[in-house]
Amino acid sequence: MPHTVEWKVRLYLFEDEGTTKARVVLDTGTTALTGHGVAHRNPTDTHVPEIGDELAAGRAMHDLAQQLVNAAERDIEGMGATGSRTRRTPM
């Protein structure tokens, strides 16, 4: 049985005095999850905003990904399955 859905993702970046903060919001239509990430620039480093954006965004998406995996594991356990909390090595 085919299954197609569309989930919306919004990524927000904020930079202030060497600190970049990211917030990524996933909206599934029934649930919303929010991931957060932060990157700090060493004051002696060259100011390259794109690097802070990449780090903070990546960290926020990693946080969101972990929340999704945790939610799926809880759902699997809620279905009565056992041994679903196996941690896999990241790709």
Report the alpha-carbon distance of residue 68 to residue 63 in Å, rounded.
Answer: 9
Which CATH topology does 8-78 take? Double Stranded RNA Binding Domain (3.30.160)
pTM value is: 0.83
Q: List beta partners, residue 22.
A: 13, 37
Torsion, Cα 38 20 44 42, to 10 degrees, reads -10
39-87: per-residue pLDDT in tens? 999 999 999 999 999 999 999 999 999 999 999 999 999 998 765 555 5
